[in-house]
Structure 1
């Protein structure tokens, strides 16, 4: 894998930045304190005992750690088994793994994930999330984009 150093750097950067922000908001903010950054974006410190949108929060940390490890292993297998020329997908896989590791660290250390970004309008607010969640989402989007591009180029070849 020729791009392994870049992949490892991407994963490491996501984990390091995510954990640094989480440490910072934990030390500088009170639980559920809200700090306006932009008219539509606030810092809002909260904890998520589940996965996305607090789903499966009743399972507890142990089963969610097992699920996270299993999903991370599956994504890693997809990454390693995909052709090296699939650069967009590989970058997406790196973002997904970096985000998954960032959230896994929280779950192992604290039993929950630290969330801190809140997008909102005056009458609506989105789920509170963190950089790791954003990396997972963008990474999944890149993998889907790569699949669509591959499908499209395959159709043109036919």
Structure 2
């Protein structure tokens, strides 16, 4: 449990630290090309992931984010302690959600800065908290459907032998 709480704290601190550096060193709307397909681009997201639900307003988005966070925390509590990979995935999701919720309640928007692009395709601008949430979801799916699911299949196969 201590490792999971430490993971949440580290995720929040890293997220807020990077956002503070972006805000302090880059004017809004400015970009720094890192690679031909990757740039740092200082943006403000008034929606949630990929600017969805921008029309809900600050209070509505904060309440929605808090509700989602409450559901994730409930799932985290209900997940058996033996599912360490799932717990890690949930911890980085919670850390990312808290990081974005801090921005939303403090600033009224979320600071975004990672911009993937090609000449033919522009991906939404996002931040480290969004990456934590996405990677955490992938980790949970991997644990549930590949690692634990494969174990269930082997167990069921042995019972039929």
Same fold (TM over 0.5): yes
Give a deviation string over 1:21-51, Cα, whole Å, max 9, x none. 1111111111110101122211000011111
Q: How many residues align?
A: 155
Question: Which residue of 1 is the match for residue 87 of structure 2?
Answer: 90
Question: Which residue of 1 is the match for residue 139 of structure 2?
Answer: 142
Question: Which residue of 1 is the match for residue 154 of structure 2?
Answer: 156
| 1:45 partner SS | strand
Q: Which one has the largest radius of gyration?
A: 2
Give a deviation string over 1:106-144, Cα, whole Å, max 9, x none. 000111111000011232221100000000000000111
TM-score, normalised via structure 2 length = 0.93
In the aligned structure 2, how far is the partner of 1:19 from the partner of 1:112? 13
Question: Which residue of 2 is the match for residue 40 of structure 1?
Answer: 37
Higher alpha-carbon deviation: 51-60 or 130-139: 51-60
Question: Which residue of 1 is the match for residue 69 of structure 2?
Answer: 72
Question: Which residue of 2 is the match for residue 8 of structure 1?
Answer: 5
The ranges of structure 1 where at least 4 consecutive aligned residues each deviate by more than 2 angstroms after the TM superposition are: none
| 1:61 partner SS | helix
In the aligned structure 2, how far is the partner of 1:6 from the partner of 1:122? 42
TM-score, normalised via structure 1 length = 0.95
Q: CA RMSD in A?
A: 0.9
Structure 2's unaligned 5+ residue stretches are 157-161
In the aligned structure 2, how far is the partner of 1:109 from the partner of 1:133? 17
